[in-house]
Amino acid sequence: MNCYKQKPDRKEIEAITERTGRPCIIGEYHFGAPDRGPIAAGLRSVVNQEERGKAYRYYTEQAASIKELLGVHYFTLNDEPSLGRGDGEAWQIGAVDVCQQVYGEFIEGVVKAHHNMYKIAAGKKKPYDTKPVEIPRIGY
């Protein structure tokens, strides 16, 4: 399933698992920010790249704490072109910009989350619990 929320919904995932008898995988989520790259910041937007790193960490570590959830997949490596892809979508949501330059502050959060997620899944560490500063959603 796709889950464009601030974090995966534990009760929703538990209900799906109960109904299907199978664990879940989240196939898409992302966070964008309007401070660099394309000006459109995606379905979930935070104020800057540092908050994107926090958002990724919050989402991923919260996901790791849900036993019925096998894993999550960040939507894309690259930002979308400023003039849009085939359907016009032009979001700043990648780990790298259109020139393949890394968003360092974002990657810091990615590294921290990946360092912690197996300890969290094993119940040896609590997930990161600081919510990122989001920009209110318009549309969608």
Residue 77 has a pLDDT of 94
Token duo for residue 89: 């979508």
Q: What is the mean pLDDT of residues 103-129?
A: 98
Nearest to 119 by CA among 109, 111, 130, 127: 127
pLDDT at position 140: 53
What pLDDT, in 10s, does the model give residues 21-58? 999 999 999 999 999 988 888 999 999 999 999 999 99
Q: Which percentage of the chain shows pLDDT scores above 90?
A: 85
Is residue 94 very low, low, confident or very high in pLDDT (cuts 50, 70, 90)? very high
Q: Quickly tell me which residue has 């960490």 as its tokens.
A: 57
Q: Report the Cα 3 to chain-centroid distance in Å.
A: 9
